[in-house]
Amino acid sequence: MRGTCRLDGWVTTWARAGCLAALAALAGCGGGGGHGGGGGVILPPPGQTRLSCDDSIKTGFKPDANTSVLLVKSFKTGDPLLLTGTPTGTTPTASTDVCVVKLLVGPGNAGPADAPSTSPGIGIEIWLPGEAKWNGRIHVKGGGGWAGGVHTSLTALAGLTGGSSGAPADTAMVEGAVSASTDTGHANTTNGGSFAMKPDGTVNAALWNDFAQRGIHEMAVKTKALTAAFYGKAASRSYWNGFSTGGRQGHMEAQANPGDFDGILAGAPAINWTKFITSELYPQIVYQRDLGGVPLSAAQLTLVGNAAINACDVVNGQHLGYIPDPSQCRYDPQLDASVLCSASGGTGPAGSCVTAAQALAINKIWYGQTSDGSVPSPANDNGFATSPATASNQRWYGLTRGTNLQGLAGPTPFTISSDMVALELQDPTWATPTFINATGNGANRWQQLSYAQLSNAFDQGIALQAAFANINTDDPNIDGFVARGGKMLVYHGLSDTLIPPQGTINYYTRLAARAGGDSVARNFYRLFLVPAMAHGFSNGTTNAAANPPLPTNAQLYLALTLWVENGNSPERIDISAPASGNSPASSRPICMYPTKATLTGGDPRLAASYTCS
């Protein structure tokens, strides 16, 4: 059987790491052929007893010397999904029989017991539906932010919750696929990026590697191995589903471990990690350097954002309430009397109007980080070029016009960005006080950063990529993934409140150029941009009354599986919104980039009125 290793002595051979290591490297035992993630899969010998959902897994599952089983728990239909404690009225219950297995994969990183950088290894939690429910697939989930979690806890379940890609528990019990998630090597979720710095302030290369790539690869390998041991056969297909950090992780799997998955669903991918995250601090530096440290109020950001929407949302004479194509929007609040205060020559409403200096600051935030705080006129450059404009000192992109800026330009910084600057400069004091280190905790020194200093941090993030285990994940070379027939479906909201979609467009443009053009790239990588969608499946605009059509994770995952398994490649995906308040039900297509939804006539709120061209 191609791509399969059959080993004698089922239990004892789990301790023999040779063949498993070869499988993980896509070498030996059949190489990279077949399905179930492309690599070979260890199967039990004919007639050999499979692993059961009890403590026998702790001794029976030994894929390598670094892996130990921490917990095995069987839940029957109707059981409360608890490891300890007394069920309450809100405790979820198992909708079908399911087995939960927690793994620890060392070696982690040694150090003082109380240091965030000390870790016993990578925690992985795997949910296996009963055999009658299993659909033959593996469908694992990515993380968010700095990841982390309770995957090694003996009292809490990580899989009950999930971000935009859904919870592993639901995937196992409702969909019927084996699912898993990982803490990527650190359990702490309260101190942000502190785990990535050693107590002496230097880069923690071991945990950067676990976080950036090793944790997700180990999850893929161990989930496949446990699936084969539990059911007595390999999964028919293996899928990745992740959003934000999870979207970055999906790209890393395609780039570094191309045999792990047949299909990858990646939403709002946090690729270009150090670039966009460093730039996420830029709005706060604009406030510090240009506005005396006084942030714009929510009312001011809403007034100007809605003015941008009103200027750029008209299709066939109708205001949609959101901007369908922000790349074409060049709204400039400096030229709009309706948002400027009277002292700046405008007629804007008292309490929410902006001064000329504040209007300029908003243009800077929309344009994105520059090396010196400069910004061109939106009429000449609205910050939406496919590559950062070096002529105008642009380092990275800003959020699009009409997007709710509160996440990055609110009263406090997005702490991942200040953490990232501290890690780039190898000095914890640049971060906020939630960053913990023996050399000193975060002390909000980010407030002192000049434009040039933030630009230097940006450069340091790029220079440290080797130490950061290539966290930027922006290599367009996914040749190995393509060679084995892998498919990637990528989507990004055009009103993403944290990650500028231009970075994903930039990656696609480079990937397509390397592949030989759009007509080649679309065979394995398809990008869909979603107007008005936030950092998640919600309205990301400043217009609270907007009711934009949005996809669902289930809809996008179905499109991916149909592409992988049936060859039904998605050219367009029709999305919809139910009636809400004064907004009627609506629909529209999202189109495979670089095609766009083009109105052919009729109602611009109906998908049937558009073609993708």
Pull the structure tokens for residue 228: 């084969």
CA gap 459, 24 in Å, rounded: 34
3-state secondary structure of 507: helix
Pull the structure tokens for residue 387: 């590559």
- Distances from the Cα of 272 to the Cα of 247, 283, 365, 515, 519, angstroms: 11, 18, 18, 20, 25
Question: Has residue 495 got a pLDDT over 50?
Answer: yes
Question: Has residue 235 got a pLDDT over 80?
Answer: yes
Question: Has residue 30 got a pLDDT over 60?
Answer: no
Report the half-sphere exposure of 132 (CA within 13 A, side-chain side).
3
CA gap 340, 357 in Å, rounded: 10
pLDDT band at 233 (very low <50, low <70, confident <90, very high): very high
Question: Has residue 211 got a pLDDT over 90?
Answer: yes
In sign, the C-alpha dihedral spanning 249, 254, 260, 262 is: positive
3-state secondary structure of 250: helix
Local structure of residue 609 (DSSP, 8 states): G
User: Helices 282-290 and 451-463: crossing angle, nearest 10°?
Assistant: 160
Share of the chain above pLDDT 90, in %: 89
The reported pLDDT for the residue numbered 482 is 98
Pull the structure tokens for residue 611: 């073609």
Residue type, 301: L
Length of the chain in terms of residues written? 613
The reported pLDDT for the residue numbered 385 is 86
Work out the angle at residue 286's Cα, subtended by the Cα atoms of residues 281 and 291, and round it to the nearest 5 degrees: 140
- Distances from the Cα of 281 to the Cα of 110, 160, 457, angstroms: 32, 32, 11
Question: Has residue 11 got a pLDDT over 60?
Answer: no
pLDDT band at 70 (very low <50, low <70, confident <90, very high): very high
The reported pLDDT for the residue numbered 45 is 53
Local structure of residue 376 (DSSP, 8 states): -
Nearest C-alpha neighbor of 19 from the set 63, 66, 59, 69? 63
CA gap 364, 361 in Å, rounded: 5
Work out the angle at residue 590's Cα, subtended by the Cα atoms of residues 589 and 593, and round it to the nearest 5 degrees: 140
Question: Has residue 20 got a pLDDT over 90?
Answer: no
Nearest C-alpha neighbor of 605 from the set 495, 531, 555? 531
CA gap 402, 425 in Å, rounded: 33
Question: Has residue 2 got a pLDDT over 70?
Answer: no
Nearest C-alpha neighbor of 499 from the set 251, 211, 241, 273? 273
Mean pLDDT of 458-475: 98
The mean pLDDT of the chain is 92
pLDDT band at 26 (very low <50, low <70, confident <90, very high): very low
Contact between 610 and 599 (Cβ < 8 Å): yes
pTM, entire model: 0.92
Nearest C-alpha neighbor of 163 from the set 190, 175, 186, 181? 181
CA gap 561, 497 in Å, rounded: 28
The DSSP annotation for 52-75 comes to: -SSTHHHHH--SSTTEEEEEEEEE
pLDDT band at 582 (very low <50, low <70, confident <90, very high): confident
The reported pLDDT for the residue numbered 48 is 53
CA dihedral 305, 308, 310, 311 (to 10 degrees): 180
Q: Using one digit for the tens of pLDDT, what is the confidence trace for 285-305? A: 999 999 999 999 999 999 999
Mean pLDDT of 180-207: 96
Q: Using one digit for the tens of pLDDT, what is the confidence trace for 520-578? A: 999 999 999 999 999 999 999 999 999 999 999 999 999 999 999 999 999 999 999 99
Neighbours of 176 (CB within 10 A): 18
Strand-strand pairing, 237-243 and 263-267: parallel
